[in-house]
Chain A
Amino acid sequence: MSMSASELQHYLFAPHPEEEEATANASFGFWIYLMSDCILFASLFATFVTLSRSYAGGPTSQEIIHLGHTLEETLVLLCSSVTCGFAMLAMYRRQLRRVLGWLAVTFVLGLTFISLELQEFLSLVAAGHGPTHSGFLSAFFTLVATHGTHVTVGLLWMLVMMAQIAVKGLSEPVQSRLIRFSMFWHFLDIVWVGVFTVVYLNGVL
């Protein structure tokens, strides 16, 4: 080999110290997790579509869906995505108070969404149309509630993040987690678009 000693070093070894890629790797891995969550929801959608006419003598989709209510839920959730976006913009501008503020608004909107959804579920159960009354109802409740459970996890995550920001400020690890949280929150929005299309709009039209 006709290389000088330093050329040889460069040939054989990567430059040191190595670059820190933790945030990028974490985001990448989280994207992949979101893709798996996509498949999770896809299976639930497939289940719902398969069972969407399995009324077993119980109520049909037209009978249990009230589009006005769905519209409320949708507006609330979509708004929360916007406010989450504002929180992220504030994070990039390192405006700690604004981040906390917009996250709080997002939290309230998310909580509103969950309570609206719970309202819908409770009224259906009270009317005797709970998830145990037909295949269609089982699929309806499970698909919508799985999305709701994800949103609830998101709410918990938000609380933890707000606590972390208050205590540690906008450090690199905290920002990395916020980025992943916002990916999660927007993803849930997209899934909701699927839910209200396939379940609610399709069920009524």
Chain B
Amino acid sequence: MLETDLIGRLRLSSIPYQSGIVMGATAFMILVIVIVLGSITWYRKWGYLYREWLTTLDHKKIGIMYVIVALVMLLRGFADAVMMRSQQALAFGSARGYLPPQHYDQIFSSHGTIMILFMAMPFLTGLMNVAVPLQIGARDVAFPFMNALSLWLTAISAMLIMISLPIGDFSRAGWSGYPPLSELRYSPTVGVDYWIWALELTGIGSLMTGINFLTTILRMRAPGMTLMRMPMFVWTTACTNILMILAFPVLTIALALLALDRYLGTHFFTAGMGGNLMLYVNLFWMWGHPEVYIVILPAFGVYSEIVPTFAGKPLFGYTSMVYATCAITLISFTVWLHHFFTMGAGPDVNAIFGLATMIIGIPTGVKIFNWLFTMFRGRIVFPTPMLWTLGFIITFTIGGASGVMLALPPANYVLHNSLFVIAHFHNVLIPGTLFGMFAGYTYWFPKALGFRLDERWGVRAFWAWLLGFYFAFMPLYVLGFMGMPRRMEHYTNPAWRPWLEIAAFGVLLILAGIGCQVTQLLVSIRDRAKNIDASGDPWDGRTLEWTVSSPAPVYNFARIPHVHTRDAFSHQKEKGLVHHRPDGFHDIKIPRNTPLAFAVGMLAFGFGFGMVWHIWWLAAITFLLTLVCLIVRGSSDDVEDIVSGAEVERIEKARYRELSAIGADDQSRYAHHQPAHV
């Protein structure tokens, strides 16, 4: 069959007409897109969308868009989960469920890929964007254009994954893509190529985020904010960025070499001709292990913000926390082999990596105790973020314990590739990362959008998620001991069946939880006038982001604050200096909007699509145009706008009137922060 130059290997038959599920999902996707685009047209918001969102370089808006990507992909990844659980509950004995292996394996591959790279990563990057510059007293990140580039690269990579549904198929080699299964011989379709390019493009975005935020944190903190005075979320962000910078290049290479094998016929990971399968496994996990710390550290940072705020006490053992975070960062590069103890490395090698893996549990444990002792002798209130945190502490500890068990190579020899492993990592990722993201989402939502999320639906969502999690994943530990492997699309052992049915029930509870969260968002938007955050400080916060309005003005701070302690806002509350008026305002430079970042994103989508389908002219043209866009941007000197001092004054004076009206600048309101009052 000849490959036409125009559309590469794309054919009408690339659309999976035969699969009712895929066609149904496609129809749903198209419906959603039509509704969204239609609504924008109906309400005449294209201009607004372009001006305020598609061309913005403002970290606050970029953060919101990241979280939107994460939430959308959470729904897609969760749909995959529902399908997997229901299939496994049904496909016993001669019953084969409704998913043939060729479909089921795409689902587990996309589930893992989406949840880690297109849900967790955008979610934490979004929270970093929303919170970090405000927490350090900066006006924006160090490289606003690069920030926007990162966002759009991530968004279009998610689009590449989504478009693999109606056009082509997705990888069947798992989210880890081990060769030779992921090589051309055993994965001849476009699925693995979609996976490779989506990950490569989003990986570039993550690398840029790492560089951007590390530079921001190390160079743009407000005067007086030494490293040991930074909020803990900023510390964890900095360490996460270091992990991103050092780990993502390894993934870039691992996937690039796999792509070279698939596209040019090289022999990096083929099973013959001098290829080395184990090399891929090592490269992948050399990225893969730091990656899981990339997704957990920001969540730990969120908890470190939430517990002190809602316990009314500073974080216990701040110095210990910093050292623990840095220790986790360093050690995370020394444990990667524990993902393949059974690949046949000698006992010395296995034992060393097992030891390192256990050692990394120590700083993690330290963090848990620090949060508990922050609660000790506090005055704790329990809004939703605190509920998520408590759910995390209990549940994550179980997952950590199962991790220590897996860290022992002999234990690993019988548990590897079983559902015990699945239970373990969901047991740390869901209460760890996901609950942390939900907590951070609730916590910083008012700051980003100006109104609070509905509390009642938040509580309902929490309980549904928590109970759902236990029902869905505790049976998997049991199944691990019963010898059930992961990634099975049907089974014949009757003893496994009741546990899989319980797990399916758990997933239904989680579905209810997600339903509550969707409802929460809709209800909150509907009731936003009632839930408005007029003071900018809805939680009686301790850090600088709560000193500005909600949402913050485009320039963040009219005057950059001078910092003297940790918990700078608490310090102001203690000293009776809250919302003190500055004696003058000045012109402030802000990055000017530009369509170039969005354009590069769209071009990158075209490039990825072209590479997947071998549409070489498309790949070449989009690549060249991308270069042109970057050169244009790199030759532009006039990239900033000025908010005049008068305009700043007008905005700030309006805010002060608002604050006075609600009494938020009345220092006696913060009396409970002052030492004499204890």
CA distance A54 to B257 in the complex (A): 16
User: Which residues of chain A come closer than 8 Å to B264, judged between CB atoms?
Assistant: 131-132
Interface pair B266/A131, CB less than 8 Å apart = yes
- A30-38, A75-83, A90-98, A108-116 - interface stretch: A30-38
Nearest residue (CB) in B for A40 is B249
Interface pair A36/B249, CB less than 8 Å apart = yes
Interface pair A51/B586, CB less than 8 Å apart = no
User: Which residues of chain B come closer than 8 Å to A134, judged between CB atoms?
Assistant: 267, 273-274
Interface pair B248/A36, CB less than 8 Å apart = yes
User: Which residues of chain A come closer than 8 Å to B273, judged between CB atoms?
Assistant: 56, 133-135
Residue B188 is within 8 A (CB to CB) of chain A in the complex: no
Nearest residue (CB) in B for A21 is B219
CA distance A36 to B475 in the complex (A): 41
Residue A205 is within 8 A (CB to CB) of chain B in the complex: no
Interface pair A16/B250, CB less than 8 Å apart = no
Instruction: For chain A, give the interface size range.
Output: 35 or more
Residue B276 is within 8 A (CB to CB) of chain A in the complex: yes
Residue B362 is within 8 A (CB to CB) of chain A in the complex: no
Whether A142 touches B260, Cβ cut-off 8 Å, given contacts A56-B272, A134-B273, is yes
Residue B587 is within 8 A (CB to CB) of chain A in the complex: yes
Interface pair B214/A44, CB less than 8 Å apart = no
Give the Cβ gap from B219 to chain A, nearest Cβ, in Å.
5
User: Which residues of chain B come closer than 8 Å to A168, judged between CB atoms?
Assistant: 637
Question: Which residues of A (35-68) have their CB < 8 Å from a CB of B?
Answer: 35-37, 39-40, 43-44, 46-47, 50-51, 54-56, 58
Whether A43 touches B253, Cβ cut-off 8 Å, given contacts A10-B562, A17-B587, A138-B260, is yes
Interface pair A51/B268, CB less than 8 Å apart = yes
User: Which residues of chain B come closer than 8 Å to A139, judged between CB atoms?
Assistant: 268
Please tell me which one of the listed residues B211, B214, B561 contacts residue A13 in the complex, with CB atoms under 8 A apart. Answer: B561
User: Which residues of chain A come closer than 8 Å to B257, judged between CB atoms?
Assistant: 47, 138, 142
A-side interface mostly:
helix
Interface pair B586/A36, CB less than 8 Å apart = no
Interface pair A16/B559, CB less than 8 Å apart = yes
Residue B348 is within 8 A (CB to CB) of chain A in the complex: no
Whether A33 touches B275, Cβ cut-off 8 Å, given contacts A13-B561, A51-B268, A138-B260, is no
Whether A177 touches B634, Cβ cut-off 8 Å, given contacts A14-B223, A43-B254, is yes
Nearest residue (CB) in B for A54 is B274
CA distance A27 to B142 in the complex (A): 11
Nearest residue (CB) in A for B278 is A50
User: Which residues of chain B come closer than 8 Å to A127, judged between CB atoms?
Assistant: none
Nearest residue (CB) in A for B637 is A173
Residue B30 is within 8 A (CB to CB) of chain A in the complex: no
Residue A119 is within 8 A (CB to CB) of chain B in the complex: no
Interface pair B222/A132, CB less than 8 Å apart = no
Residue B13 is within 8 A (CB to CB) of chain A in the complex: no
User: B residues within 8 Å of A by Cβ?
Assistant: 137, 142-143, 207, 210-212, 214-215, 218-220, 222-223, 245-250, 252-254, 257, 260-261, 264-268, 270, 272-276, 279, 283, 286, 559-562, 564, 572, 575-577, 580, 582-584, 586-587, 627, 631, 634-635, 637
Name 16 interchain pairs, CB-CB below 8 A, sorted by A. Answer: A1-B576, A6-B583, A8-B577, A13-B562, A14-B560, A24-B219, A25-B220, A29-B142, A29-B212, A36-B211, A43-B254, A46-B283, A54-B276, A132-B265, A168-B637, A173-B637
Please give me the 5 A-B residue pairs with the lowest Cβ-Cβ distance, nearest first. A135-B274, A54-B274, A56-B274, A138-B266, A40-B249
